[in-house]
Amino acid sequence: MLYDLSLHMGYTYDVPASGARHVIRLLPLSLPDRQRLIAGSVTVSPATDEKVTFIDFFGQQATSVLVRAPHDRLDIRMQARVMVEAPTMQADLSPTLDVLRKELAEVWSVDPSSPHHFTGSSPRLPEEPAIAAYARQAVKPGQTVREIAAALCTRIHKDFKYDPEATTVDTTPKEAFKLKRGVCQDFSHVMIVALRSLGIPAGYVSGFLRTIPPPGKERLEGADAMHAWVRIWCGDALGYVELDPTNDIPAGSDHIVVGYGRDYSDVAPVIGVLKGYGNQKADQAVDVIPVK
Amino acid sequence: MDEEIEHDPILGYAALPGVADEMLDARGEIKPVWQNLIAHLSRLSEGDLYERFARADRYLRDAGVFYRTYGGTGPGGTGERNWPLSHIPVLIQQDEWQNISRGLQQRADLLEAMIADIYGENRLVQEGFVPPQLIAANPEFLRPLVGVKPVGGHYLHFCSFEIGRGPDGNWWVLADRTQAPSGAGFALENRVATTRAFSDIYGETHVHRLASFFGAFRDALQSRKQYPDDRIAVLSPGPANETYFEHAYIARYLGFMLLEGEDLTVVNNRVMVRTVAGLKPVGVLWRRLDASYADPLELDQNSHIGTPGMVQALRSGSLTLVNALGSGILETRALLAFAPTICRRLLGEDPILPSIATWWCGQQSEREHVAKNIERMVIGPAYSRLPFFDDNSQSVLGSSLRETAKDTVGDWLASEGAKLVGQEVVTLSTTPTWVDGKLTPRPMSLRVFAARTENGWEIMPGGFARIGTGDDVAAIAMQSGGAAADVWIVSDKPVSKSTLLPPEESFTRNMPGSLPSRAADNLYWLGRYIERAEGALRILRSWHLRYAESADPNAPLLADVTRYLKSIDMDMVKAVPEPLLANINSAIYSASNIRDRFSPDGWLALTDLAKTAKRFHEAAQPGDDAAHAATILLRKLAGFAGLVHENMYRFTGWRFLSIGRHLERGLHMTRMLAHLSGPDAPDGSLDMLLEIGDSVMTHRRRYNVNTARLTVNDLLALDPLNPRSILFQLNEIRTEVEKLPNAFENGQMSPFYREAMRLHSGLAVMTPETMNEDVYRRLEKDLENLSDLLVRTYCS
């Protein structure tokens, strides 16, 4: 699939902000045999006083910008054309949990692709006994890691209600788990905590999802949003598998990857520090348009 | 004669069984290096000795040496406690010290090689020397710094080590400190205090001086500057930090700026300090805050004490950090288990000094070893950066477990092993300390410092000894609450007596560097709060004097003044009211942010003022009692003002403090005149104004008439010679503002200077008849605007 992506994030400040420094992570990745960034740009208004791009630890392109003068509105725009290959079906080559543990111990690497980054806890994801207990219930003896992950994905999709009003970007997995509600970020965080509690390395994927309008309806412009799903290390042979608990599907050619991390904090699309005292309001519009 | 023998401090001193002692050798004889000190101590009477101890304590108190403790009662829930000096130094012979130094130099090289590998090639993991989890799951593994090579090539510039002597007499490394090692400044203060007590003994013992170590490190940091106008600064988390005193002390001692994260900003990949003269580049930062707080943009997003963009500046290679961000990972307890093999792999040598035996329980055979030897183990969190003896709440002593609990240790280690380490319990040596009138053996460990210089690692000849409180010699007993002692490294021959003061022939007069904006802000507000307290006290005193006569708080004048006090947020619930205390505390808070620029005397005067005010707040009764209290407090305030006036160097910092005082005094007088000098003001208002304005005598001498509105206006608003008049304040402000940086921009007055001029000349041409409430109210607004303008121009 070939996509044209556009995203617009706007921030309005009650009291003008100044000396605003932001790190922006919005451009899709290029991934061999899976996804190719053909063209892409990130623009910021008002005009930036400084703009530096760098590649972060997990390989994502980040743009660091500074807007020095006072401003009451900040607009960030991303446009990109991306080619996404249709995934090929893979046989389940993943081992059982005990074997996974042994295979993990044999990975002597802390390269960005090493599964060791995705075990234990991470800045946003401490261990949660309640989620660990929930995870244990989903496991049946003799299941492969891939089967366990798929079962958890289905289970979370079934037990949780999609509800954008219930949570915010700062909601912890513990709270979301108690509510059994939330958005893609909450679904993914809960699933990651659950998988890690079983000893399965799991990370966070930020990206875009092409939404398909209901039959007979027009696609609404700007109605899409950024999306998140889960990346699971399923052992030596199978490697990483991506599952989307919000929709209970494997990530496929409708999923466009922007970044990989341990949790949301590694891939937050915009991290900002500014001098300002008043409140701020944010708005967002995303379009994922299939070209062909 | 008998009495002297009774007091001989050495009588009854004996090493504990199976424990090494610093003073006694294996046969119980006093080691040669101690003999002179002990001979001296024996000759001193107990009274002499206490007199000497008191001298040392007095020095520490007068120098304002303190240690902040969390959970106290001061601002932000913290308190300060005096530095706990154990007066008897620990003496070590130079040859033995040389061996320790060689061991620590090697260890510092090892740590540098490890950190370079962890943030670089990662061969230690690939080749199986370090388990990948210990890096990847480590909160101190800062991914944004991976691949960022430090300028000059070195990650580490300053480290400290905790070492202890085992029963066989050999030294062990108990812990490495690389994140933001503290204590070097306290070692200096220990030295000064201890030599106050034993100047004669110190003088005739060949003790290595500490100054050359600091001098060499200062020179090394100087040589790290890439541009001649680069500043060097100590970066502190701020006054709430437990070792803030030391940050201020070190900065002052070495002549570096003391900065906090908000003093800094990043411009085009360079870190700059905000000063009253604009942004100035910083080339070297001696970092005393934990790395994750350093940059909220790329590290801990919740940090309020960091500098956004600092990591970017590091990527571009414009800044040297001591030590590099991410160095804290070397303190991870579990990594100690792998240090010996890593030493052989990276340096091709065996460690000269062994480190405390450590087993990471994420590996099966290690786990089994720990379970089998649980009696000799202390078990704690694998990723903890605290040495186990500073971490009693999280570390478990195997021998303290109940028998039933010991059986389940295996299960515990099997399920949680990757998060745990076992460490062999170390028995420490003892050293003589003075307890209840005699020398008593107490366990000790040493903190030793290493600085990277042009010639490689230099080890401080000394350090400080941590002394345990009881006679439990297990290292885990070394918890907080102990004392610290000076460490004397003694040579057989005379040592060089270097000092950091420059030799006389190289004398130059250095003008102070640019004042950081935050320091200017704190000085300005210190001036304002102090003056605000004085203004309030003057009104309160007059109020209580009159109340003492009439005993009627509803008399028109008293009721009117009460209303005025309310309008400036001064309630009268207590005779010495709460808001006054809050005011003084605000002054102390401002002062605490600039301890490096503040004399210990000034600080003592301020804290004494606060203590006295609190006592009066609790006890003073309305009337004469409260008036008397106000007089005492005013006298203490005058004492503080005198210290500032007589002793503070008249440069930019002093100007901000001074402008603060004059502006507040002008505001105070303007408001009082607006309220009390009108035609409707109650009887006695004008007399009270003169009293508050300390101008009763002058008025009598100058006007020879009864108090009248015009004469009061003249004397308190317009008289340029009366140090309490509004015009006097404006004149002083104008004079100071003229000397501030950037008062003229391109040959033109800055907006701030112009406004100060305008207010001054505007008032100077007024006559007493034209002064009325409206004019005063307008002036009040103008003065408030002038303050805003000052803060905007210089303090943000």
From B297's Cα to the closest Cα of chain A, the distance in A is: 6
Q: Which residues of A touch B332 (CB under 8 A)?
A: none
If you average pLDDT over each of B263-272, B648-657, B705-714, which comes out highest?
Answer: B263-272
The DSSP element (H or E) to which A206 belongs, if any, is strand A202-209
From B702's Cα to the closest Cα of chain A, the distance in A is: 52
B429-475 residue pLDDT tens: 999 999 888 899 999 999 999 999 988 999 999 998 999 887 777 76
In the structure, what pLDDT confidence band is assigned to residue B4 with cuts at 50, 70 and 90? Answer: very low
- With CA atoms as reference, report the closest residue to B363 among B347, B341, B348: B341
Residue A131 or residue A215, greater confidence:
A131
ipTM of the complex: 0.94
Return d(Cα B796, Cα B787) in angstroms, integer.
13
Same domain for B675 and B768? yes
Residue of B130, B262, B279, B298 to mutate for A, most A C-beta atoms under 10 A: B298
Return d(Cα B592, Cα B587) in angstroms, integer.
9
Q: Would B747 be classed as within a structural domain? A: yes
Same domain for B378 and B413? yes
Number of residues that make up chain A: 292
Q: Determine, for residues A109 and B133 on separate chains, whether the beta-carbon distance falls below 8 Å.
A: no
In the structure, what pLDDT confidence band is assigned to residue B425 with cuts at 50, 70 and 90? Answer: confident
B615-637 residue pLDDT tens: 999 999 999 999 999 999 999 99
Q: How many CB pairs under 8 A join A and B?
A: 65
The DSSP 8-state label assigned to residue B390 in this structure reads: G
Which residues neighbour B511 within 8 Å (Cβ) at sequence distance 6 or greater?
Answer: B651
Structural domains of chain A in order of their starting residue, each with its CATH number: 2-85+269-290 (2.60.40.2250), 97-267 (3.10.620.30)
Return d(Cα A171, Cα B552) in angstroms, integer.
59
Number of residues that make up chain B: 796
- Asked whether the beta carbons of A194 and A176 are under 8 A apart, the reply is no
Same domain for B579 and B714? no
Same domain for B715 and B793? yes
Q: Determine, for residues B132 and A108 on separate chains, whether the beta-carbon distance falls below 8 Å.
A: yes
Same domain for B653 and B772? yes
B397: number of Cβ within 10 Å: 19
The pLDDT value given to residue B283: 94
In this complex, is the C-beta atom of B657 within 8 Å of any C-beta atom belonging to chain A? no
| Percent of chain B's residues with pLDDT above 70 | 94
> Which CA distances in Å does B785 have to A276, B278, B663, B773, B790?
20, 22, 11, 18, 9
Bridge partners of B39, per DSSP, are: none
List A residues 38-57 in contact with B (Cβ-Cβ < 8 A). 50, 52, 54, 56-57
Same domain for B611 and B660? no
Per-residue pLDDT at B574 exceeds 70: yes
B759 φ/ψ angles, rounded to the nearest 5 degrees: -65, -40
In this complex, the residue of A21, A54, A107 whose CB is nearest that of residue B308 is: A21
The DSSP element (H or E) to which B424 belongs, if any, is strand B420-424
In this complex, is the C-beta atom of B428 within 8 Å of any C-beta atom belonging to chain A? no
Q: Would B26 be classed as within a structural domain? A: no
The pLDDT value given to residue B75: 43
Total count of domains within chain B: 3
Give the mean pLDDT of chain B. Answer: 89
- Asked whether the beta carbons of B338 and B359 are under 8 A apart, the reply is no
HSE-CB at B56 with a 13 A cutoff on CA atoms is: 25
Could you tell me which chain B residue has the CA closest to the CA of A121?
A: B137
- Among the candidates B373, B404, B424, a domain finishes at B424
Per-residue pLDDT at B790 exceeds 70: yes
Return d(Cα B427, Cα B745) in angstroms, integer.
67
Q: Would B625 be classed as within a structural domain? A: yes
What are the tokens at B297?
A: 């943009």
Read off the pLDDT of each residue in A240-256 and give the average, rounded to a whole number: 94
The pLDDT value given to residue A130: 97
> Which CA distances in Å does A251 have to A53, A112, B745, B783?
28, 21, 61, 65
In this complex, the residue of A52, A56, A123 whose CB is nearest that of residue B144 is: A56
Identify each DSSP E strand in A98-201 by its residue range: 161-162, 181-182
In this complex, the residue of A52, A107, A117 whose CB is nearest that of residue B312 is: A52
- With CA atoms as reference, report the closest residue to B108 among B460, B456, B386, B462: B456
List A residues 64-83 in contact with B (Cβ-Cβ < 8 A). 64, 66
Q: Determine, for residues B132 and A120 on separate chains, whether the beta-carbon distance falls below 8 Å.
A: no
Q: Would B555 be classed as within a structural domain? A: yes
Same domain for B623 and B709? no
Residue B339 or residue B410, greater confidence:
B339
Q: Determine, for residues A56 and B133 on separate chains, whether the beta-carbon distance falls below 8 Å.
A: no
Q: Which residues of B touch A50 (CB under 8 A)?
A: 267-269
Where do runs of H (alpha helix) occur along B319-477?
339-347, 364-372, 403-407, 409-416
In the structure, what pLDDT confidence band is assigned to residue A223 with cuts at 50, 70 and 90? Answer: low
Q: Determine, for residues B143 and A56 on separate chains, whether the beta-carbon distance falls below 8 Å.
A: yes
- With CA atoms as reference, report the closest residue to B522 among B791, B252, B245, B730: B791
Return d(Cα B714, Cα A281) in angstroms, integer.
54
Q: Which residue has the tokens 């600039």?
A: B594
Return d(Cα B289, Cα B180) in angstroms, integer.
6
Same domain for B529 and B594? yes
- 3-class DSSP state of B541: helix
Same domain for B771 and B785? yes
Could you tell me which chain A residue has the CA closest to the CA of B796?
A: A275
**Lowest pLDDT segment from B44-48, B251-255, B393-397:** B393-397
The domain of B568 spans 517-648
- Among the candidates B620, B648, B676, a domain finishes at B648
Q: Would B72 be classed as within a structural domain? A: no
Q: Would B170 be classed as within a structural domain? A: no
Return d(Cα B347, Cα B102) in angstroms, integer.
14
The pLDDT value given to residue B1: 42
Per-residue pLDDT at B3 exceeds 80: no
In this complex, the residue of B128, B143, B297 whose CB is nearest that of residue A108 is: B128
Which residues neighbour B287 within 8 Å (Cβ) at sequence distance 6 or greater?
Answer: B180, B235, B294, B321, B322, B323, B325
A255-292 residue pLDDT tens: 999 999 999 999 999 998 877 667 888 888 999 999 87
The pLDDT value given to residue B500: 60
Q: Which residues of B touch A54 (CB under 8 A)?
A: 312, 315
Q: Would B213 be classed as within a structural domain? A: no
Per-residue pLDDT at B756 exceeds 70: yes
In this complex, the residue of B125, B267, B312 whose CB is nearest that of residue A110 is: B125
Per-residue pLDDT at B502 exceeds 80: no
Degrees (nearest 5) of the Cα angle A273, A278, A280? Answer: 65
In this complex, is the C-beta atom of B183 within 8 Å of any C-beta atom belonging to chain A? no
The pLDDT value given to residue B293: 94
Q: Would B179 be classed as within a structural domain? A: no
Same domain for B687 and B732? yes
Bridge partners of B489, per DSSP, are: B92
| Percent of chain B's residues with pLDDT above 90 | 63
Strands B66-70 and B158-165: unpaired
Same domain for B679 and B717? yes
- With CA atoms as reference, report the closest residue to A208 among A222, A196, A219, A218: A222
Read off the pLDDT of each residue in B100-105 and give the average, rounded to a whole number: 97
Which residues neighbour B280 within 8 Å (Cβ) at sequence distance 6 or greater?
Answer: B229, B231, B272, B273, B513, B514
The 3-class SS string of B672-734 reads HHHHHCCCCCCCCHHHHHHHHCCCHHHHHHHHCCCCCHHHHHHHHHHCCCCCCCHHHHHHHHH
| CATH for B380 | 3.30.1490
> Cα Rg for chain B, rounded, in angstroms?
31
Return d(Cα B68, Cα B76) in angstroms, integer.
11
Q: Is the C-alpha dihedral spanning B339, B340, B343, B346 positive or negative? A: negative
- Among the candidates B424, B443, B459, a domain finishes at B424
The pLDDT value given to residue A198: 96
Q: Which residues of A touch B132 (CB under 8 A)?
A: 107-110, 114, 116
Q: In what order do the strands lie in the sheet with A202-209?
A: A249-250, A240-244, A226-233, A202-209, A255-261
B221-240 residue pLDDT tens: 999 998 888 999 999 998 88
Same domain for B693 and B757? yes
Read off the pLDDT of each residue in A113-118 and give the average, rounded to a whole number: 97
The pLDDT value given to residue A118: 97
Per-residue pLDDT at B507 exceeds 50: no
From B151's Cα to the closest Cα of chain A, the distance in A is: 18
B681-740 residue pLDDT tens: 899 999 999 999 988 888 888 887 777 889 999 999 999 999 999 999 999 999 999 999
The pLDDT value given to residue B749: 87
Residue of A110, A114, A196 to mutate for B, most B C-beta atoms under 10 A: A110
